[in-house]
Amino acid sequence: MPIYEYGCAKCGKTHEIMQKFSDVPLAVCPDCGGEVKKLISNTSFVLKGTGWYATDYASPKKGGDKKSSENPAEAKTEDKKTEEKAEVKAETKKEEVAAK
Side by side, the strands of the sheet bearing 36-39 are 14-18, 3-8, 36-39
pTM beyond cutoff 0.85: no
Q: What's the whole-number average pLDDT of the chain? A: 76
With contact defined as beta carbons under 8 Å apart, do 3 and 16 qualify?
yes
Q: Provide the pLDDT confidence category of residue 59 given band limits of 50, 70 and 90.
A: low
What lies within 8 Å, CB to CB, of 68 at 6+ separation is 60, 61
Q: Provide the pLDDT confidence category of residue 47 given band limits of 50, 70 and 90.
A: confident
Q: Exposed, middle or buried: residue 41 (CB in 10 Å: 0-12, 13-18, 19+)? A: exposed
The pLDDT of residue 30 is above 80: yes
| Measured distance CA(88)–CA(90) in Å, rounded | 5
> What single-letter DSSP state applies at residue 84?
H
Pure H helices in the chain: 52-56, 72-99
